[in-house]
Amino acid sequence: MDIQRLVKKAKKGDKEALLELIMEQKDDYYKLAYTYTGNRDDALDAMEDMIVKLYEQIPRLKKPGSFYSWSKTILVNCCHSIHRKRKKLVFVEDWTDDAGISSQEVSPIETSVQHMHIHQLLSKLNPNQAEAIRLRYFQDLDYQSIANVTNTSLGTVKSRIFQGLNKLNQWYGGERND
């Protein structure tokens, strides 16, 4: 597949070319979105937001070769804004205390409850710490790569992950003691 040619077409407003570019790496995009959102619907919403933004902003993309890194940055931003919306809508009333988990969020299926827990716990964290942990554990990135992606220093990344995990352990312990 000729990425350069497709990017050129997309820049001129060819919607199918843009779609083709995304579908070429659809699994990567989806997993990245899922890493941040933790559920299927939000991941799909984030990707919808992303493709609209890509379509609007691609005329300003200078290097066609950097399409994938550029578009993934936009996807992460879309996930962040979805996360912010969800936090406003759900989190404030549902998350009653550090350890408690709202009964509304508890699904009858045990595994699902557990997965929701880990994402809910992550959302409760400082967003920077949560992002670092997500990238470290869900995307398997090393510290340096995380530092590059989040535009911080190696030390900050290590500290964020350490502090984040500490808090999670604390909360998780609390939950276990319930």
Contacts with another protein by CB under 8 A lie at 13, 15, 18-19, 22-23, 26-27, 30-31, 34-35, 38, 40, 44, 47-49, 51-52, 55-56, 59-60, 114-115, 117-119, 133, 137-138, 140, 165, 168-169, 172-173, 176
For another protein, which is the closer residue by CB, 71 or 153? Answer: 71
For another protein, which is the closer residue by CB, 93 or 140? Answer: 140
Closest approach of another protein to the CB of residue 31, in Å: 6
For another protein, which is the closer residue by CB, 34 or 70? Answer: 34
Which two tokens mark 123?
């959302």
Closest approach of another protein to the CB of residue 44, in Å: 6
The backbone region for 90, taken as left when phi is positive above 0, alpha when psi lies in -120 to 50, beta otherwise, is: alpha
For another protein, which is the closer residue by CB, 55 or 143? Answer: 55
For another protein, which is the closer residue by CB, 47 or 147? Answer: 47
Closest approach of another protein to the CB of residue 167, in Å: 9
Closest approach of another protein to the CB of residue 97, in Å: 18
Closest approach of another protein to the CB of residue 18, in Å: 7
- HEC profile of the chain: CCHHHHHHHHHCCCHHHHHHHHHHCHHHHHHHHHHHHCCHHHHHHHHHHHHHHHHHHHHHCCCHHHHHHHHHHHHHHHHHHHHHHHHHHHHHHHCCCCCCCCHHHCCCCHHHHHHHHHHHHHHHCCHHHHHHHHHHHHCCCCHHHHHHHHCCCHHHHHHHHHHHHHHHHHHHHHHHHC
Give the integer Cα–Cα distance in Å for 118 and 11: 39
